[in-house]
Amino acid sequence: MTYSQQPPAYTPPPQPGAPLAPPPPANRNVLALIALIVAVVGFIFACIPGALIVGWVLLPIAFVLSLVSLFLKGRGKGLGIAGLIISIVGTIVAFVVFFAVVAASFNDAFSDDTVVIEESTGAAEAPAEEHAEAEDAAGEAGSRDNPVAVGATIASEDWTVVINSVNADGNAVVAEANQFNDTAPAGSHYEIVNYTVTYTGEDSSIAAEVGVDMVTSAGNVINSYDTIVSLNDSISLDELFNGASATGSAAFAVPDGETALVRVRPGILADDVFVKP
């Protein structure tokens, strides 16, 4: 028995100028594209403190979508990898911004940065206009560039501090106070700062909350505990109630040939005020 074979169907060749058949659709990774878009938007919001929470929500979503897109077979991986990287970097940025916001909020809530300075009336005051011009040129009063004079009253919410005097030749004072005091290190000398602290807060506190040190012209900070020195009138850990005062001195080993400013911090979280001897 024979079977007749049918000839293959004839397909005419394309005529000149006829439109070509459309190419097969591209194999795109739509999920990776969505992940990339979400990651970019989340990264932008992560950089804005007021909209930080939006970044916290979008970035993990972008991270998960990027991972899933990488496991899809036969799909492009480039967009997924880009979304994954941006989501990770955005999360790191979000952490940095978050901690910066928290630190700023903590500082605003607990920092006693309201420090009032009253210049001593012992010397003749310059006209108000000249004083304002000089302050604008040198910086805010009490800064390192524009220190206040000895005798100025430095007040915060809890403390009032007055630098009474600075003795630039204090070696003899240190030697006479205690025979076991350390001599000034080679190439340096002692300077004695006498000051008064008054507690104006509630209940009581210790005078050691007020910080007094010296900053040299080279920018080095000198503390009284850098050398072992005990003076006859050290303030130490005196406890003071509201309105009570304590007066005492501290010794600082200042390098020879350098000038030094007194730096006062009227409270643990208060701003620094510089005083020129």
Residue 74 lies in a domain: yes
* 153 and 267 part of one domain: yes
* 45 and 160 part of one domain: no
- Identify the residue with better confidence: 47 or 178: 178
**Across the strands, what pairs with 195?**
163, 248
Q: pLDDT band at 111, cuts 50/70/90?
A: low
* 211 and 96 part of one domain: no
Domain holding 179: CATH number? Answer: 2.60.40.1240
Which residues span the domain enclosing 143?
Answer: 116-121+136-276
* 221 and 158 part of one domain: yes
DSSP 49: G
Q: How many other C-beta atoms can be found within 10 angstroms of the C-beta atom of residue 225? A: 8
* Residue 49: per-residue pLDDT: 75
Quick one: which of 255, 274, 251, 253 has its CA closest to 263?
A: 274
* Residue 190: per-residue pLDDT: 97
Residue 130 lies in a domain: no
Q: What mean pLDDT do residues 102-121 have?
A: 68
| Per-residue pLDDT tens digits for 265-275 | 998 888 999 99
φ, ψ dihedrals at 28, nearest 5°: -85, 150
* Residue 216: per-residue pLDDT: 96
Sole residue written with tokens 């999920």: 31
Q: What mean pLDDT do residues 233-245 have?
A: 88
| pTM: predicted TM-score of the whole model, two decimal places | 0.57
Q: pLDDT band at 142, cuts 50/70/90?
A: very high
* 86 and 157 part of one domain: no
* 41 and 140 part of one domain: no
Residue 35 lies in a domain: yes
Residue 176 lies in a domain: yes
- Identify the residue with better confidence: 237 or 184: 184
Q: How many domains does the chain have?
A: 2
User: Comparing 69-83, 102-116, 178-192, 225-239, which segment has the lowest mean pLDDT?
Assistant: 102-116
Q: What mean pLDDT do residues 107-123 have?
A: 65
